[in-house]
Chain A
Amino acid sequence: MPEENGNGKNGNGTRVGLLERVKAGVKEDVQSLKTDMPAKAKDQIEGLKDPTKTQLYTSIFRHKHDDTPRNRALGVLSNVFLHLHPAKINRDAVRYSFTWGMGGITFYLFIVLTFTGVLLMFYYHPTKVQAFRDVLYLEHDVPFGKLLRNMHRWAAHLMVIGVWLHMFRVFLTGSYKKPREFNWNIGVLLLVFTLLLSFTGYLLPDDQLGFWAVTVGTNMARATPGLGHEGPFGAQLGMTPYNDVRFGLLGGSIVDANALLRSYIWHCIGIPIVAAILMIVHFWRVRKDGGISGPAPVMLASEVKEKK
Chain B
Amino acid sequence: MDWRQLWEICSAPDNVPIVGLIPMIVTIILMVWSITLSAPLEEPANPNLTMNPAKAPWYFLGLQEMLVYFDPWIAGVVMPTLIIVGLMAIPYIDTNPLGSGYYTWKQRKFSIGSFLFGFIVLWVAMIIIGTFIRGPGWQWFWPGQTWDHNRLIYEVNRDLPDLFGIGSNLGKAILGGIVVVGYYVLGGFIVHALFRRYNPKDYKRMSLLQYSIMQFFLLTMVALPLKMMLRLAWHIKYVWITPWFNV
Q: Which residues of A contact B (CB under 8 A)?
A: 69, 72-73, 75-76, 82, 85-91, 94, 96, 98, 101, 104-105, 108-109, 112, 132, 135, 139, 146-147, 149-155, 157-158, 160, 164, 167-168, 171-178, 180-181, 184-185, 188, 191-192, 195, 198-199, 202, 205-213, 215-217, 219-225, 228, 230-233, 236, 254-255, 293-297, 299, 303-304, 307-308
Q: Is B232 at the interface (CB under 8 A from chain A)? A: no
List residues of B (216-244) whose CB comes within 8 Å of A's CBs: 244
Is B60 in contact with A195, judged by CB distance below 8 angstroms? yes
Is B22 in contact with A108, judged by CB distance below 8 angstroms? yes
Is A177 in contact with B97, judged by CB distance below 8 angstroms? yes
Find the A residue at minimum CB distance from B14. A94
Contacting chain A: which of B1-9, B149-157, B171-179, B192-200?
Answer: B1-9
Chain B residues with CB below 8 A from A293, complex form: 100-101
Find the A residue at minimum CB distance from B101. A293
Residue of B18, B58, B100 near A175 (CB, 8 A) is B100
Is B91 in contact with A208, judged by CB distance below 8 angstroms? no
* A-B contacts, 18 listed (Cβ < 8 Å): A76-B12, A82-B11, A82-B12, A88-B11, A108-B22, A151-B34, A171-B112, A174-B94, A174-B96, A177-B91, A177-B96, A185-B91, A206-B44, A206-B45, A207-B42, A212-B50, A223-B77, A299-B3
Given A208-B45, A209-B42, A294-B101, A75 and B12 touching (CB < 8 A)? Answer: yes
Q: Is B183 at the interface (CB under 8 A from chain A)? A: no
Given A88-B11, A150-B38, A307 and B6 touching (CB < 8 A)? Answer: yes
Question: How many angstroms from the CA of A149 to the CA of B97 in the assembled complex?
Answer: 46
Q: Is B47 at the interface (CB under 8 A from chain A)? A: yes
Chain A residues with CB below 8 A from B108, complex form: 174
Is A85 in contact with B19, judged by CB distance below 8 angstroms? yes
Is A208 in contact with B44, judged by CB distance below 8 angstroms? yes
Is A217 in contact with B60, judged by CB distance below 8 angstroms? yes
Residue of A90, A101, A208, A308 near B18 (CB, 8 A) is A101
Residue of B51, B59, B77 near A209 (CB, 8 A) is B51
Residue of B1, B3, B10 near A297 (CB, 8 A) is B3
Given A101-B22, A195-B60, A220 and B46 touching (CB < 8 A)? Answer: no
Is B47 in contact with A211, judged by CB distance below 8 angstroms? yes
Question: How many angstroms from the CA of A230 to the CA of B77 in the assembled complex?
Answer: 12
Residue of B9, B55, B77, B90 near A88 (CB, 8 A) is B9
Question: How many angstroms from the CA of A264 to the CA of B238 in the assembled complex?
Answer: 39
Question: How many angstroms from the CA of A151 to the CA of B244 in the assembled complex?
Answer: 46
Q: Is B33 at the interface (CB under 8 A from chain A)? A: yes
Given contacts A176-B94, A217-B56, 8 further A-B contacts (CB under 8 A): A94-B9, A101-B18, A150-B39, A184-B90, A188-B84, A208-B42, A208-B44, A220-B76
List residues of B (23-42) whose CB comes within 8 Å of A's CBs: 23, 26-27, 30-31, 33-35, 37-42
Find the B residue at minimum CB distance from A185. B88
Chain B residues with CB below 8 A from A167, complex form: 87
Residue of A94, A215, A296 near B15 (CB, 8 A) is A94
Query: Nearest 9 pairs between A and B by C-beta?
Result: A220-B76, A181-B91, A232-B245, A211-B45, A150-B34, A223-B72, A153-B39, A212-B54, A208-B42
Chain A residues with CB below 8 A from B94, complex form: 174, 176-177
Is A221 in contact with B77, judged by CB distance below 8 angstroms? yes
Chain A nearest CB from B29 CB (Å) reads 9
Is B59 in contact with A154, judged by CB distance below 8 angstroms? no
Question: How many angstroms from the CA of A167 to the CA of B103 in the assembled complex?
Answer: 14
Question: How many angstroms from the CA of A91 to the CA of B104 in the assembled complex?
Answer: 19
Q: Is B63 at the interface (CB under 8 A from chain A)? A: yes
| B80-103 Cβ-contact flags toward A at 8 Å (1 or 0) | 000010011011101011111111
Q: Is B209 at the interface (CB under 8 A from chain A)? A: no
